[in-house]
Amino acid sequence: MTGLKTMLNPKVTAVIGVSTKNPFSPGNVIFRKLAFENGLPTYPINPKGGTVEGVDVHKSIVSAPEGIELAVISVPAKYVPGVLRECGEKKIRSVIVVSGGFSEVGENGASLQSEIIEIANRYKISMVGPNCIGVFVPDILDTFFLPSERVARPRKGNVALISQSGGWLIERLEEFAARDVGIAAAISIGNSAQTTGTDFVEHFGKDECVDVICAYIEGFGPGEGRDFVEACKKIAPKKPVVVLKGGESEAGHRATQSHTSSLAGNHAVTNAAFHQYGVIHALDEDEVMAYAKVFSFKPKYMLGPRIGTLTVSGGHGVIASDEASDYGLIMPPFSENEQAQMRAEMTPAYQGITSFRNPCDLTGSAADVDYERVLEKMLGFDSIDAALLLLLPYAPGISLQIGARVANVAKRYDKIVVAYVPDLDKYEVIIRGFELNGIAVGDTIEESVQMLNAIRMRSKYLQQIGKL
Tell me, yes or no, whether 72 and 111 share the same domain: yes
Residues 312 and 259 in one domain: no
Position 137 in a domain: no
Q: Which of 68, 95, 129 is the C-terminal boundary of a domain?
A: 129
Residues 90-109: tens digit of each pLDDT: 999 999 999 999 999 988 89
Predicted confidence at residue 30, as pLDDT, reads 97
Under 8 Å between Cβ of 208 and 149: no
Q: Which pLDDT value is given to residue 295? A: 98
Residue 11 belongs to a domain with what CATH number? 3.40.50.720
On whether the CB atoms of residues 26 and 145 are closer than 8 A, the answer is yes
What integer is the mean pLDDT of 189-213?
97
Q: What is the pLDDT of residue 311?
A: 96
> Would residue 203 count as lying in a domain?
yes
> Both 268 and 368 in a single domain?
no
Same domain, yes or no: 272 and 385: no
pLDDT at 142 over 50: yes
Same domain as 311, residue 291:
no
Same domain, 124 and 159: no
Residues 79 and 165 in one domain: no
pLDDT of 64 over the 90 cut? yes
pLDDT digits (tens, 9 = 90+) for 422-442: 999 999 999 999 999 999 999
What's residue 327's pLDDT?
97
Q: Same structural domain for residues 175 and 92?
A: no
Model confidence at 380, in pLDDT bands (50, 70, 90)?
very high
Domain hosting residue 423, numbered range:
307-464
Is residue 217 one of the residues assigned to a domain? yes
Same domain flag for 25 and 123: yes
Asked if residue 358 and residue 320 are part of one domain, the reply reads yes
63 and 212 in a single domain? The answer is no
Neighbours of 267 (CB within 10 A): 15
pLDDT at 367 over 60: yes
Report if residue 46 sits inside a domain.
yes
